[in-house]
Amino acid sequence: MNKKNISLTSLVKTSGCAAKLGPGILHSVLSTLPKFHDQRLLVGFDTSDDACVYQVNDATVAIQTVDFFPPMVDDPYRFGQIAAANALSDVYAMGGTPATAMNLVCFPSCLDIEILKEILEGGYSKVGEAGAVIAGGHTIADPTPKYGLCVTGFAHPEEILTNANAKTGDLLILTKPLGIGILNTAAKAGLLSENQAELTASVMATLNKYAKEACRGLRVHSCTDVTGFSLTGHSYEMADGSRKTIELFTGQVPILPEALEFASMGIIPEGMYNNLDYLEDKFTCKNPIPQNLQDVLLDPQTSGGLLLSMPETDAKEFLKRMEIHTPYASIIGQVTEPKEKPLVFL
């Protein structure tokens, strides 16, 4: 198969984080499994957090995560960058610094091996940008190409962030725009312009390293990254884990150009419907919102931004620091005492 003529996205049914199992299915399995108990395991999967945290000694914790998925773009190098940025993000969301990474590769034997080289080069570029190192990996032959990383990072125990510690009065900040899943679906259908496709890919390939660094010295009560479970899903997990209600200012959520238009046309990834099935009884709308906006709020993101819960003064300082990195970081909600539903769309 000629490298120049191959479209990576033509080899997959679903792409990026939209390929993940639906949250309802996953929860039904995980909830039946026995739980391990170890006093050094500070964060496991009980609160649906982004990574596990294991205490090495009094001054150091190890943060471990793994993430891989099928391509959402046709360019192999860009795919490698996005997959690596997505996997590294979980360490940043937990307050850590990535140190080592291991490649995870599924690759069709019919493809030119040069494509695999470019995928790996893309991953290497982002791991290097993160200041980490790739130390090996694992490959298997598979009809559907997939790539990602197993990442280990480190932090001081007092630096660890979780998705279950939001405080009443906090403001919610989102650091990347929504609509990635919808736009990737439009691109697969050949409906996206070249400029819009490049903007979407650039957002996905941006490391959350810079958002994490902008938090230095500020009070961050809770943090997660927004991926396949959507802004709605990750906000719900934060509200539920913190035993609070989160009110989302839906009119202030940053959204990529054309995402609302494609949603209105029904260009929706399957993952959005999986998210809706699981979440529809967990949120309420104070006022009616357009259907296309609700679809974007439930859209599965690939390599999305950080969602941070911070006191107002810290949130405003954080936004000032982020101005040099992105025009998208925005205050999108607030944390309140528990109400009838854990999530309210305003």
Which residues are designated catalytic?
17
Angle ∠(173,177,180) on CA atoms, nearest 5:
140
Other Cβ atoms closer than 10 A to 144: 14
Contact 120, 81 (CB under 8 A): no
Which residues are within 8 A (CB) of 216 and not within 5 positions of it... i.e. 6 or more apart? none
Torsions phi, psi for 162 (to 5 deg) = -130, 175
Contact 130, 98 (CB under 8 A): yes
DSSP strand E in the chain: where?
A: 41-43, 52-57, 60-69, 97-107, 133-141, 146-155, 171-174, 222-225, 245-248, 283-285, 306-310, 330-336, 343-345
